[in-house]
Amino acid sequence: MSRIGKKPITIPKGVTVKVADGAVEVQGPKGKMRQAFPAGINFELADGALQAKRSTADPELAKYHGLARSLIANAVQGVTEGFKKELDIVGVGYRAELKGKQVIFALGYSHAVVFDIPTGIDVTIDKQTHITVMGVDRQLVGAVSANIRRLRKPDPYKQKGVRYTGEVLKKKAGKTGAK
């Protein structure tokens, strides 16, 4: 039984929702988004709320019911508030610079690492060591920030690298601590 799938999605003012074939189009102050949903799940718009319904009583559809509702709810939240992830660059000489639609990283390698920013994503850099990734699509914001973190994962010994803001790392003892 899906409990999340049964919750209605409230549509805020200034947001328009259109239910099309296999997708929901959501338009709001931050942008426009089209989110597909699995076959067998339908959405009904009534009383300023969007409700996810299963077309049949097939138990196989239950696993997609909550997923479909969450995807559409994230699209509604994305066009109203947007999503953001923050990353910190830790290390001597480690920094980032924004040039057009590219971010150039100096991460201790012998070369600069160039990262192309995909469309629909905004990146801001504060003090060369704090990166903010913002966008309408929650999945794309998470994927871009994970790809940036993957350029130089935090080292468990020296704690250097790119990490999420607030991420707590477990520091490991080096060779001298292994007695």
Does the pLDDT of residue 133 top 60, yes or no?
yes
Contact present, 18 and 34 (Cβ < 8 Å)? no
Mean pLDDT across the stretch 103-117? 91
What is the rounded CA–CA span in Å between residue 125 and residue 98?
Answer: 7
Grouping H, G, I as helix, E, B as strand and the rest as coil, residue 69 is helix
Beta carbons within 10 angstroms of residue 58's beta carbon? 10
How high is the pLDDT of residue 173?
86
Q: What is the pTM of this model?
A: 0.83
Does the pLDDT of residue 175 top 70, yes or no?
yes
What is the rounded CA–CA span in Å between residue 162 and residue 155?
Answer: 9
Which residues, including other chains, have CB under 8 Å from residue 103's CB and lie 6 or more apart?
Answer: 96, 97, 114, 115, 117, 123, 125, 131, 148
How high is the pLDDT of residue 60?
79
Of 77, 91, 95, nearest to 141 by C-alpha is 77
How high is the pLDDT of residue 4?
82
How high is the pLDDT of residue 66?
85
Mean pLDDT across the stretch 89-104? 91
pLDDT digits (tens, 9 = 90+) for 26-71: 998 988 989 888 888 888 888 888 888 887 777 778 888 888 889 9
